[in-house]
Structure 1
Amino acid sequence: MNRKKKINETLKKRIKKANAKLNKSTKPRYISKAERATLDDEAALVTETVDATSETITDSEIESTVN
């Protein structure tokens, strides 16, 4: 009886592992601290450039309305 039980347990474990591999994980991918810092720096640069371009656009619009 023990031999049959042991075989069934190992087969069930294999099936369980195979099913776990097929299912996608809902857990987000890990991002290291250094990678997060670089992403934050890039985001800051993008916002600075957007702010600078919006300022130049408003300045040019003001000049065109004045002229």
Structure 2
Amino acid sequence: MKSDHRLGRNFYKGVAGDAVNILLAAAAYNFKRAMKALLHLLKIISEKLSERPSMNDFSLANAF
């Protein structure tokens, strides 16, 4: 369990150090999840924008 979430090394001493280490690891884990969600959202937005027709797709010759 400790190695899964990179809690193997503790550079802080004492009980307070253990608590700080766990809080920092949890914050990093949550930040990583948030960045993955943001990347996924940006990919969806990029795909939707690339599907929209642009002004170059319309021709005045076909309009009349």
- Normalised by the length of structure 2, the TM-score is 0.55
In structure 2, distance between residues paired with 1:63 and 1:55:
12
1:21 corresponds to? none
In structure 2, the gaps of 5 or more residues are: 1-14, 52-64
1:27 corresponds to? none
Aligned residues: 37
1:58 corresponds to? 42
Please tell me whether Structure 1 or Structure 2 has the larger radius of gyration of its CA atoms: 1
Kindly state the Cα deviation for residue 34 of structure 1 after the two structures are TM-superposed: 0.4
4+ runs deviating over 2 angstroms: none
Relative contact order: is structure 1 or structure 2 higher (C-alpha 8 Å, sep ≥ 6)? 2
1:35 corresponds to? 19
What is the CA RMSD across the aligned residues, in angstroms? 1.2
Secondary structure in structure 2 of the residue aligned to 1:37: helix
- Give the structure with the larger helix fraction: 1
- Normalised by the length of structure 1, the TM-score is 0.53
Identity %: 11
Secondary structure in structure 2 of the residue aligned to 1:56: helix
In structure 2, distance between residues paired with 1:40 and 1:65:
37
